[in-house]
Copies of this chain bind each other. A is one copy, B any other.
């Protein structure tokens, strides 16, 4: 135990064995560059001791005696680590990216490495196939260093990163056509200035402005800070009056944020970030041509504080908004780091960022007080955010990078929905459209190019896997599509990534309920049929359950089941969503017959089955050709806004044009909800095709 170097009043067991400095838990966890980065960069083995809780300085000194060399191929990066370090720790010390979704717990199986020479001691794991083991595969987090070793990062590990966020080459090309002219907020403007003479002796700053004016910059509304004035004289003279100016364009005014010597081309990167309550997705974009050079996705670390926004706000009230901000930043910055590694570039080149998230996520990330979001009359502190700088909010990017946060019209309808509308584009068209984003919160928008109404219903996290025993998001191993044989009750499953099943995601659950209903395993009120003689239906604890996968066929060696409680949670969720549709329509004086198009977005897998979603009463029983499933629309809207001023402006207009209807105090909503707690609905007349099929 020793005193934290940042907080001398705190005793901590975490010591860096190389530098003999102590850091407290907060410093270890936080990504505040003041507290963290200086040690993180100076001290690549700090996490070593973090793992070994309870070590004291003396023990760690001894342990540090044996040191081995680990070489990472194909990059040939080398690092020295004390004996007992894991390969994952070594990779982090060497700044080699190894995917570690479960943070080294050994449960995700993603940190695969191939041992090329030397030996490591590995704990047994079911997450490697026998074939892999023969080829020398190990899990980095489960393997400790006992001597010098060379390891190779498997090719597929590098490729998978793009797959996770669904971003193949084709998808990239499809998105690129959405943007006509690339026009980021922060522009890098190369300039060659005329050197001064006695006859032309204007100040350096005036000369810079003159150069900028020639490029079409509105210098009359151009601000400049003291930092640039202090660096200007040297910078302009360093490379013979060739410079590059970083100019940010804000609605209210432009500003020169930085000048540097030389005017050669520099990497110009941008980030589109979708900060979901459950999942965070990051696109790293080349701003020269709009190519998505890397895409990463991961769980929002705030999940430790609860699944939904209300729990997050409660947690922020208790522990301070800074803590929640740090958690989200930890995930975001780690995803940015992965994306940068995968693209082989540096954070310094990132100079534009667009963040799309619901109102609570935006508040928490920016450390803005969220507590009034959950208190009547439900007021966000900010809905339309000014352009910020990455350094102000702690993003892993150039500190001067311009950050646009998608505006959100209300406490429970946020920038992610505006972003989604921007992408789907129905606000530019005639047809009356019903838009639903099914995530932890179910946000609904109704309207067309003339008007937009919006509301939110608490769908709960069930469709994203929360509160469901074997629920998970649509990632590798998730059952995303299924049928049940009506005779044998044996399921036919399709998993994301075609790997052994590890759980079930939203689209899989919709299929499942529909199949349970169709095969009679459950009835329309959601009750399991009693006395069914089949090994697939059995009691799990004190409630009935359907067995999706038997233990032997899973990496975890446990049955994957779906219980009566899981079903009840899902019925509540789907009921909340359907009640949202009917209530919003009646507020507009409309019914489903007047809806010309229905757009569905959200965290489902690729295989959302519309027919089955209607069967269970999640979606209305209307002409199936009206349905469009558009996946994660929020990240695509963010990508569009990253590249185009017009789209950023359009996002603001969408936000301003939305009329928010509050359901919390709406008695009609409660009635509609109660009617919808049935499969598909208590009013079967509104589901004619389902009734006809039964």
Contact = CB atoms under 8 A, between A and B. Distances in A.
Interface of A: 196-198, 201-206, 220-226, 229-230, 232-234, 237, 250-255, 366-369, 371-372, 376-386, 388, 392-393, 410-411, 660, 662, 665
Contacts of A226: 366-367, 388, 392-393
A233 B368 contact: yes
A372 B224 CA distance: 20
Given A234-B369, A665-B198, A203 B379 contact: yes
A236 B220 CA distance: 35
Nearest to A233: B369
A322 to B, nearest CB: 10
List the number of copies, as a whole number: 2
Nearest to A385: B229
A377 B222 contact: no
B388 A203 contact: no
Main secondary structure of the interface of A (DSSP, over half): loop
A229 B377 contact: no
A205 B202 CA distance: 41
Contacts of A383: 202-203, 205-206
A221 B253 contact: yes
B203 A382 contact: yes
A204 B410 CA distance: 11
A324 to B, nearest CB: 13
Contacts of A376: 198
Contact of A381 (B232, B368, B378): B232
B198 A223 contact: no
Contact of A203 (B198, B252, B380): B380
B377 A252 contact: no
B381 A201 contact: no
B202 A372 contact: no
A198 B662 contact: yes
A384 B253 contact: no
Contact of A204 (B233, B381, B392, B393): B381
Contacts of A380: 203-204
Nearest to A206: B383
Contacts of A255: 252
B378 A201 contact: yes
Nearest to A392: B226
A377 B202 contact: no
A221 B221 CA distance: 11
25 contacts: A198-B377, A201-B410, A203-B380, A203-B381, A203-B382, A203-B384, A205-B384, A220-B252, A221-B252, A221-B253, A222-B252, A223-B252, A223-B253, A223-B386, A226-B366, A226-B367, A230-B368, A230-B369, A232-B369, A232-B382, A233-B369, A233-B372, A233-B381, A237-B372, A252-B253
A230 to B, nearest CB: 6
Q: What are the 6 closest A-B residue pairs judged by CB atoms, nearest first?
A: A253-B253, A233-B369, A252-B253, A203-B383, A221-B252, A233-B381
B197 A381 contact: no
Given A203-B383, A224-B386, 8 more contacts: A221-B251, A223-B250, A225-B386, A226-B367, A226-B392, A229-B381, A229-B385, A230-B366
A694 B665 CA distance: 101
Contacts of A410: 201
Contacts of A206: 383-384
B377 A230 contact: no
A368 B393 CA distance: 28
A377 B232 contact: no
B388 A201 contact: no
Contact of A253 (B233, B234, B250, B378): B250
Contacts of A204: 372, 379-382
Given A230-B368, A233-B369, A252-B222, A201 B382 contact: no
- Which of A197, A237, A250, A386 is packed against the most chain B CB atoms within 10 Å? A386
Contacts of A371: 233
A71 B377 CA distance: 56
Contacts of A411: 201
A160 to B, nearest CB: 36
A196 B386 contact: no
A38 to B, nearest CB: 16
Contacts of A254: 252
Nearest to A252: B253
Contact of A229 (B233, B368, B662, B665): B368
Contacts of A382: 203-205, 229, 232
A241 to B, nearest CB: 11
A198 B661 CA distance: 9
Contacts of A229: 366, 368, 381-382, 385
A292 to B, nearest CB: 28
B367 A230 contact: yes
Nearest to A197: B377
Contacts of A230: 366-369
A665 B384 CA distance: 57
Contacts of A201: 377-379, 410-411, 660, 662
Contacts of A372: 204, 233, 237
Contacts of A253: 221, 223, 250, 252-253
Contacts of A196: 377, 379
Contacts of A197: 377
